[in-house]
Amino acid sequence: MNNIGSTHYKPAVGYLRRSTDRQEQSIGDQQRVIDAYAVTNEIEVLDYYIDDAISGASSEGRDAFLKLITDAKHSNCPFKFVLVYDIKRFGRVDNDEAGYYRYQLRRNGVEII
């Protein structure tokens, strides 16, 4: 069901990341949790940005993460929310770097959930 004309339309993307292939929460596990959350909260997940086997200690090398930030800056950005399994999946970057990226999203009307 597409609610584009509705004021309740909540378009989102998911961001999935794991540091190693031995990490407990696989990409599939994270996606299932996000999908269930989206259904329960009437959020439409438009797409997923995925960084697999990439550390969250820095934004360097996290191509999907950096593309998400860039896409959110476009005036025709189709999403208003970024869904993550937990905030550590968004990144384990230091507070300054994490705050910078959160600010970039927020100033473009995108909220992290």
Examine the pLDDT at 20 and tell me if it is beyond 60.
yes
Which helix (H) or strand (E) segment holds residue 13: the answer is strand 11-18
- Going by their DSSP bridges, the two strands 111-112 and 11-18 should be labelled as unpaired
**Integer Cα distance of 48 and 113 in angstroms:** 14
Return the pLDDT at 12.
98
For residue range 49-94, what is the model confidence (pLDDT) as tens digits? 999 888 777 788 889 999 999 999 999 999 999 999 987 777 666 6
In sequence order, the 6+-apart residues with CB closer than 8 A to the CB of 3 are 9, 42, 44
Tell me the percentage of the chain whose pLDDT exceeds 90.
59
